[in-house]
Structure 1
Amino acid sequence: MRKLLVTGLRGFVGRHLKARLQMPTAGVWQLIEAQPHDLTDAATLDAWLAADCPDAVIHLAGQTFVPESFRDPARTLQVNLLGTLNLLQALKRRGFRGTFLYVSSGDVYGQVDQAHMPISEVLTPRPRNPYAVSKVSAELLCQQWSYAEPWRIMVARPFNHIGAGQSESFVISSMARQLVRVCHGLQPPRLEVGDIDVTRDFLDVRDVIEAYLLLLDKGGNGQVYNVCSGQERKVRDMIAEMARLAGVEVELVQDPARMRRAEQRRVVGSSDKLQRETGWKPGVHITDTLQSVLSDWAARESQ
């Protein structure tokens, strides 16, 4: 068994990754038990690494909410950029010589012309919010370390990923919760929405995790990989499909508070590089994904 350290295990993706590694088909990875740590406090990282030096690291933790990055850009940079530096330095002090996967975001590409879609890794990032700036900065830091250290360091750029347990601050989860509340008679049959006539490249969180695990084994040092479905889906259509699955008819009402500035109208990515180098392919059908989100909210609302 090889030892795997994962930051951000309490987050949306982290919880799914932990569950995946506890399955009988977990493979070669043994998860190093999480300890209280703060990316902005190097001493807590040293304490976490004191007992075990990992063979690989997946760095998930960070400030991930775009509106929060506008409210407090300094904190976002401190956590996402300097926190990553603190982690790299702590690993070096511990004698780490393994594989490091930095989880960035497809949001780093910013405003992309239709002529450049599907978006591939050769496209130069043009970040349009402080969160994306922090992610690009940390990517460059990791790539610099890949040249200087005897490690294998890769960057994953996941696009929109969804699934059970996601915060309602994200659109699909928010709509699912509202639909469940309509089903239970807890709110009128109307959904408050933002701009839902945009398209996004949605991928099930379970497929995202499989991509990360394959990258640990097969990814190339210093390389960047898109993690995405390669399919463009309109948010309005996703809501309609969830309403069908929930068995309700609803009115959609636009809420100005849900509108996000610097909005990209269309998004679709290319995962050709990831598939070519690792053999990964998305395996969860979008209907199964949406049903899992609805079922999760049904369970949460019944508690």
Structure 2
Amino acid sequence: MNKRVLITGITGMVGQHFAESFRADGYEVWGIARFSASSRNEAIQDSSVIRCDILERDALMRHIRRLEPDIIIHMAAQAFNGASWDAEYTTHMTNYQGTLNVLYCARELMEKKDVKVLLACSSAEYGDITESDCPLVEERLLKPHTPYGVSKAGTEMLGYQYFANYGLKVYLPRMFIHVGTGHPPATAIQNFARQLALIKTGKMEPEIHVGNLESARDFIDVRDGVAAMRLLLDKGTPGEPINICTGKAYKISDILNMLVEISETKVKVVTDEGLMRAADEPLLLGDNTRISGLGFVPSYGIMDTLTDVFHDWMGRI
């Protein structure tokens, strides 16, 4: 019998790529998604997707008992740092309580099998940092300063507690900014690509609205991120946080220029105060020594990723 994987948040960008990766290797893949969640990926819109809210622990327990997965990939979350300011309560409830429910159910499953759980932790946990703190190592003190970052720090601590107290094999990837196709325009790259696609197709004036272009971020292609996290599941140490990143940062202004070049458009750049964040680190750059030590080597360069994202938006527009 093939090994069975259960992915919460399977309709999200990372969840979809996990599903494709595991299926390609012969795993039986099941997913959990909210009743309102949708996907443009036809492979995710089938009978293997269970409609369930992770905040409903009893319902979640019934499905996990029935499926008895060997691996649980927990991606379901309020996943946007910027949106967490306007959805603070929802962010904490979904991310913390939802994770607690997943871990509680996985702990019960331990009586039947040696289950592994991978939690979507985040670089936002590092929080209040300066350029001198970078590249960020996993041992650094966490000082999150956004509701999202705080919720993810809590998520990680829950995972460690269940590992330390109950011996549950919980893996803790601190995910830096994952970029890929099938993502909503809630991040700078997706927002830029969407606007440029609208401009390219004549549906918008050649004027692109931007927030802070001076910050720099460690972006990783979602395909590389999934490969790194699968490597973590195979070779990593449970209970130990590990950065999922490239070790290289790009200024947002450079990202915009690359997307403009890819789109072959001429645009006027307009700063929009509504796109500015209350807290925005000047540099977010990770140290990827740990994941590289497991054999991880990125396969996609930043231009590859941005080209795919732009053409994805052209198809969506």
Query: 1:285 offset after TM fit, Å?
Result: 1.2
Report SS of the residue matched to 2:60. helix
Q: In 2, distance between residues paired with 1:152 and 1:3?
A: 16
Give unmatched runs, 5+ long, in structure 2. 31-47
Give the TM-score taking structure 2 as reference length: 0.90
Query: 1:286 offset after TM fit, Å?
Result: 0.9
Equivalent position of 2:37 in the other structure: none
Q: In 1, distance between residues paired with 2:210 and 2:91?
A: 26
Q: In 2, distance between residues paired with 1:74 and 1:188?
A: 37
Report SS of the residue matched to 2:66. coil
Give unmatched runs, 5+ long, in structure 1. none
Equivalent position of 2:13 in the other structure: 12
Q: In 2, distance between residues paired with 1:266 and 1:20?
A: 31
Equivalent position of 2:312 in the other structure: 296
Query: 1:71 offset after TM fit, Å?
Result: 2.1
Query: 1:280 offset after TM fit, Å?
Result: 0.9
Does residue 76 in structure 1 map to residue 91 in structure 2? yes
Q: In 2, distance between residues paired with 1:48 and 1:76?
A: 24
Query: 1:74 offset after TM fit, Å?
Result: 2.2
**Structure 1 letter corresponding to 2:316:** R
Equivalent position of 1:120 in the other structure: 137
Report SS of the residue matched to 1:22. helix
Query: 1:93 offset after TM fit, Å?
Result: 2.6
Equivalent position of 2:28 in the other structure: 30
Query: 1:20 offset after TM fit, Å?
Result: 2.3
**Structure 2 letter corresponding to 1:103:** A
Q: Map residues 83-94 of structure 1 onto 2, 5 A cutoff.
A: 83-94=98-109
Report SS of the residue matched to 2:253. helix
Q: In 2, distance between residues paired with 1:206 and 1:78?
A: 29
**Structure 2 letter corresponding to 1:280:** F
Checking the alignment, whether the CA contact within 8 Å between 2:245 and 2:287 is kept in structure 1 is: yes
Q: Map residues 202-213 of structure 1 onto 2, 5 A cutoff.
A: 202-213=219-230
Q: In 2, distance between residues paired with 1:121 and 1:151?
A: 21
**Structure 1 letter corresponding to 2:312:** D
Deviates more, 1:90-99 or 1:203-212: 90-99
Equivalent position of 2:302 in the other structure: 286
Q: In 2, distance between residues paired with 1:123 and 1:50?
A: 38
Report SS of the residue matched to 1:85. helix
- Residue by residue over 1:104-158, the C-alpha shift from the partner in whole angstroms, topping out at 9 and shown as x without a partner, is 1101101212222111101111000111111111111110111122332110111
**Structure 1 letter corresponding to 2:22:** L
1:220 aligned to 237, 260, 263, which one?
237
Identity of aligned residues (%): 30
Checking the alignment, whether the CA contact within 8 Å between 1:36 and 1:44 is kept in structure 2 is: no
Report SS of the residue matched to 2:242. strand
Checking the alignment, whether the CA contact within 8 Å between 2:130 and 2:282 is kept in structure 1 is: no
Query: 1:282 offset after TM fit, Å?
Result: 1.2
Does residue 177 in structure 1 map to residue 194 in structure 2? yes
Q: In 2, distance between residues paired with 1:50 and 1:64?
A: 27
**Structure 2 letter corresponding to 1:211:** A
Aligned-pair RMSD on alpha carbons? Answer: 1.4
Checking the alignment, whether the CA contact within 8 Å between 1:97 and 1:150 is kept in structure 2 is: no
- Residue by residue over 1:149-174, the C-alpha shift from the partner in whole angstroms, topping out at 9 and shown as x without a partner, is 23321101111111111110111011
